[in-house]
Amino acid sequence: MTMTFSADEDFALRLDAEDPLRQFREKFHLPLGKDGKPLIYFAGNSLGPMPKAARQIVDEELDNWARLGVDAHHATGTPWYSYHEALREPSARLVGAKPLEVICMNSLTVNLHLMMATFYRPTKSRFKILMEDPAFPSDNYAIKTQIVHYGLDPKDALLLARPRKGEFTIRTEDILDVIEEHSDRLAVVIFGGVNFFTGQLLDIEGITAAARKHGIIAGFDLAHAIGNVPLSLHDWNIDFAVWCSYKYLNAGPGAVAGAFVHERHATNTSLPRLAGWFGNDPTTRFRLHLEPEFIPVPSADGWQISNPPIFSMAPLRASLAIFDKAGGMEPLRAKSSRLTSHLEFLLNQNASKRFTIITPKSPNERGCQLSILAHEHPKELHNELITAGVKCDFREPNVIRGAPTPLYNTFHEVWRFARILNEHR
């Protein structure tokens, strides 16, 4: 895909005028600056803005609670008892899964633990886990404590794939080399589909194939991938995945998260797991005292533990409806690639070398985020962005992450963001 750009403001305005997704911006509340104008909101990789439809859908459930009390579990509309089912198909579309492979529940890190409880079954010979460095801290804590939980030592059991010296992103070949080298010791490989720090999109399919060839479980954390890049989890054959919904899915703080379990495992009711009543076959769920055996649902639902948290699910329904209305990830990705490449083009106009973009240059190896490493006064640069009405984030010691998203950002915002950075002295 070749894209040609111009640094003119008019060019950015023209791209916005021609953008078939431009009306979706109206579906969000964008935080306002001191001047009452919308901030340039490039922080959707941390917390997506509020879909306007979220308020009404939450209000409806508050009304149902007020009017119906316990009867709302089985009332018409979207009964609470099976509320998670309303999220299943739109979520499955976003990750490229069969509906039976997806369950929305809990939060991301909890789901990671639940998946590891099933898929990390260390033996004397096969007990190692491979993950990336830097990984998101929560993933690090989760994986290390999984290892310790089995009486093992992360020093022996944890392998890290790192960028080479002087590089910022991890080469796929290096990941595959580690898998080959430790193929008979590795139990699980777990990677962020899109790295939270660099914005690198990994070759999920290639890593999965390399792992599975040796009987190694391939799991992915899709916190920065879902709603950002197209995914085909079923066809890529990955074993499991987890994600959160408050970043690119705009479902609100602490919104309910999701998990994918590949069909070949999801239907296998003999797999060990940490269970709760909502993972049990619904036909016997309420006969617990009569039939005390746990009978898992033969789908990803078999990992569900508790009854669905309605108020952290309702906004996700509103958000997923927006993704469907936009036509799914394909049109969104097309605009997203252009937005980010436009931003990259404009930043590269700056010859001063005061900053380096550490995100991969190829649009196929990144999502929407660009990670900008500032060589001098990084905090001041970030403060300048804040003062100028930009919301983006700063990662110690010197990286500014900006994530222009196709649902609510514009090419003109990208142009303004680049102008602020390029005029910084």
Ligand X SMILES: *Cc1c(COP(=O)(O)O)cnc(C)c1O
Q: Should residue 108 be labelled a site residue for ligand X when binding is judged by CB under 6 A? A: yes
Tokens of 323: 């993704």
Q: How far is the CB of 115 from ligand X (least distance, A)?
A: 13
Task: Produce one character per residue of 38-51: b if its CB has 16 or more CB atoms within 10 Å, e if not.
Answer: bbbbbbbbebbbbb
CB 318 within 8 A of CB 51: yes
**Which x/- pattern over 266-305 shows residues binding ligand X (rule: CB under 6 A)?**
----------------------------------------
Count of residues that interact with ligand X, criterion CB under 6 A: 12
Among 224, 265, 273, 342, which residue interacts with ligand X (rule: CB under 6 A)? Answer: 224
Cis, bond preceding 309 (omega within 30 deg of 0): no
What 3-state DSSP class applies to 154? helix
Angle at 163 between CA 162 and CA 166, to 5 degrees: 140
E-strand stretches of 306-414? 355-357, 370-374, 390-391, 393-395, 399-402
Stretch that binds ligand X, among 75-83, 133-141, 375-383, 401-409 (CB under 6 A): 133-141
Q: Should residue 248 be labelled a site residue for ligand X when binding is judged by CB under 6 A? A: no
DSSP H or E stretch at residue 51: strand 50-51
Q: What residues numbered 191-210 form the site for ligand X, per CB under 6 A?
A: 192, 196
Among 64, 78, 91, 109, which residue interacts with ligand X (rule: CB under 6 A)? Answer: 109
Stretch that binds ligand X, among 31-39, 93-101, 220-228, 328-336 (CB under 6 A): 220-228
Rg (C-alpha) for the chain, rounded Å, is 22
CA distances from 16 to 9, 22, 66, 125, 248 (A): 11, 7, 44, 57, 21
Q: Should residue 223 be labelled a site residue for ligand X when binding is judged by CB under 6 A? A: yes
Q: How far is the CB of 198 from ligand X (least distance, A)?
A: 12
Torsion of CA 5, 330, 201, 205, to 10 degrees: -140
Q: Should residue 244 be labelled a site residue for ligand X when binding is judged by CB under 6 A? A: yes
Of the pair 199, 296, the CB lying nearest ligand X is at 199
Of the pair 223, 400, the CB lying nearest ligand X is at 223
Stretch that binds ligand X, among 28-36, 106-114, 266-274, 309-317 (CB under 6 A): 106-114
Among 21, 138, 140, 152, which residue interacts with ligand X (rule: CB under 6 A)? Answer: 138
Neighbours of 346 (CB within 10 A): 22
Q: How far is the CB of 244 from ligand X (least distance, A)?
A: 4
Q: Should residue 107 be labelled a site residue for ligand X when binding is judged by CB under 6 A? A: yes
Sign (positive or negative) of CA dihedral 123, 205, 192, 44: negative
Stretch that binds ligand X, among 51-59, 134-142, 199-207, 403-411 (CB under 6 A): 134-142
List interacting residues with ligand X (CB under 6 A): 107-109, 136, 138-139, 192, 196, 221, 223-224, 244
